[in-house]
Amino acid sequence: MEKPEFLKKYDLDILKIDDSLPDMPLSEHTNLHDLMEDHLILFLASTHCDLCEKTLEIIEEYTKGNQELNIVVLLDSDPAGIEVLINHFKHRVQFYLVPPHIMNKYLKMRFLPVGFAVDSNMKIITTHSVQDMNSFQDLIEPLRKQLSR
C-alpha cells in the first residue's frame, strides 16, 4: 500500500550504504571530493549539540593514538568555535565550517551527529551516529577491512 501524499514528506531521504558521496563546495578552493584519499571518514556535527560534543570527544580520543585515518568534520559552528577545534586537533582532523542547510542540501542531513565511512570509489560503506568508541569502531571496521586487502 502506498503512503498518502501528506505523509511522504516525513520519509527520511538520507544517504545510505552504497550511495555515492555527493560533492559539495567547502571553501573557495576546496570541494568535498578533493579531500578523498584512499578513503574518507566524514562526520557532520555541530558545536550547538550535546550529542555532537560526545562524537568530537570520541574522535579526539581515537586520533590521539591513531592518525592513519583521513577524518573530516563538517561543522555547524561559529568561526571562533571552529578555530578552537582546528587548533586543538592540529593536523589529526580537518574541519570545515558548514551550516546545516548546506549539509542538508548536499548530503541530505536530517539529524546530527552522523558519520560516514567512504571508500576510494566515493561509495558510502557504513553510516551511523558515533556516541562511544564501539560505535566509532563499527563505523570504520568495514573500511579497515577494505584497506588491508
117 SS3 class: strand
Q: Are strands 124-128 and 39-46 parallel, antiparallel or unpaired?
A: unpaired
Distance of CA 97 to the CA centre of its chain: 13
Please state, in angstroms and as integers, the Cα–Cα distance from residue 22 to each residue in 33, 41, 48, 75, following that order. Answer: 8, 14, 25, 17
Q: pLDDT digits over 30-85, tens only? A: 999 999 999 999 999 999 999 999 999 999 999 999 999 999 999 999 999 999 99
State residue 7's pLDDT score: 54
| Tens-digit pLDDT profile for residues 93-117 | 999 999 999 999 999 887 899 999 9
Where does residue 40 rank: exposed (0-12), middle (13-18), buried (19+ CB within 10 A)?
buried
Q: Is the pLDDT of residue 133 over 70?
A: yes
Measured between alpha carbons, how far is 73 from 94 in angstroms, rounded to an integer?
Answer: 6
Q: What are phi and psi of 141, to 5 degrees?
A: -55, -50
pTM of this structure = 0.90
* pLDDT greater than 60 at residue 8: no
**For residues 120-137, average pLDDT:** 95
- CA neighbor of 75 nearest in space, from 53, 60, 90: 53
